[in-house]
Amino acid sequence: MRGPLVKIPFDLERWRKVAEERYPEGLPEPYSDDPTQWLFHGHPARAKEGTALQVAVARLLGYRWPAEAEGVAEEMSLSAEGRAMVERAARLDAHADADGIVCLPAVAGDRPAAERLRALLAAAYEDMAEDSGGWSQGVQDRLLSEAGSGGKDLAGWLYSDFFKQHARLFHNRPFVWHVGDGRKDGFSALVNYHRLDAALLGRLIYTYLGAWIESQRAAAETGETGADGRLAAALELQRRLIKIEEGHPPHDLYIRWKKKSEQPIGWNPDINDGVRLNIRPFVEAGVLRSKFTINWKKDRGKNPDGTERHNDVHLTRAEKEEARRAISG
């Protein structure tokens, strides 16, 4: 490839002159306000226009950007401003949820998600009051407008718009999932996918959703209007989530490059397998707030044995268990 590459015209002197004019003191150190970049510092008040709310929700769910990992900022080639913002973003950790599940309604003693998000945003903007002017209703309205949801409040944005905007911003690889029963007055929760192992899914099903079901059952017994409908929707959501937990087709995980004996049994995802494959059971179950563009068609190329690279495959638990028994002797 060297031959064709060196034939491409390149005016070295011209670009040296441009560099000297634009950066007389040398190239700036790396810095990014874009949350889709790993150099991003993690502070909502200094995020790229239109993304502050997304950053705040991610922080609320306990997500941290690579530059925030312990010891990483010191080793990365970051600007002084970037390092300072990483430190200031860490001040918001007190608002992060402990387990990575934030319910939109008040459940199990937790405040509604909108209240918790507002508190985090207020702390973030007050922390940057010297250049942001602090927190106010006007700032909240501006952030919602910049996100494309003008006229809504935080609760309305979280329910109606957050997930589809999140999937779009992060190129259909969402790491905060909005799981719900489809009712605006029903149960829904934001979940940090990076923490969503078998134990956390169980906590979502039996602790948070379980508490909601019990509260709706009690309300239905007293004749509260709408409680019967909310109870039915919640029970159906629980039924679907249990299917994911157990991993029966079509709610199973299938990882194309793994042997049958290595396939996950039930909801036991490996985050390294990627969102595209791990989110499939939730899409199949219809428990996500909105749809997004993703498919499981066959990949290009061939496997080492010449077979096609199919992704849309479902295996029963019995098939996976039998494969494991076969290699264990």
d(CA 95, CA 123): 9
pLDDT at 21 over 80: yes
Percent of residues, the chain, with pLDDT higher than 90? 76
Residue carrying structure tokens 């948070």: 208
pLDDT at 97 over 90: yes
Q: Who contacts 209 (Cβ-Cβ below 8 Å, separation ≥6)?
A: 187, 189, 234, 237, 238, 241
pLDDT attached to residue 3: 65
Instruction: For 182-251, give the DSSP string.
Output: S-TTS-EEEEEGGG--HHHHHIIIIIIHHHHHHHHHHHHHTT-TTHHHHHHHHHHHHHHHHHHHHT-TTS
Asked if 213 and 80 touch (Cβ cutoff 8 Å), the reply is no
pLDDT attached to residue 328: 78
pLDDT attached to residue 30: 87
Average pLDDT (293-317) is 87
N-to-C CA span, the chain:
50
Range with the poorest average pLDDT among 88-92, 133-137, 183-187, 324-328? 324-328
pLDDT at 281 over 60: yes
Is residue 73 very low, low, confident or very high in pLDDT (cuts 50, 70, 90)? low
d(CA 106, CA 231): 15
d(CA 52, CA 62): 15
Is residue 8 very low, low, confident or very high in pLDDT (cuts 50, 70, 90)? confident
Q: Who contacts 108 (Cβ-Cβ below 8 Å, separation ≥6)?
A: 207, 208, 211
Judge if pTM exceeds 0.75.
yes
d(CA 11, CA 110): 62
pLDDT attached to residue 303: 81
pLDDT at 74 over 70: no
Alpha carbon 102 to its chain's center: 12
Average pLDDT (91-105) is 97
pLDDT at 105 over 60: yes
Residue carrying structure tokens 């700032």: 139
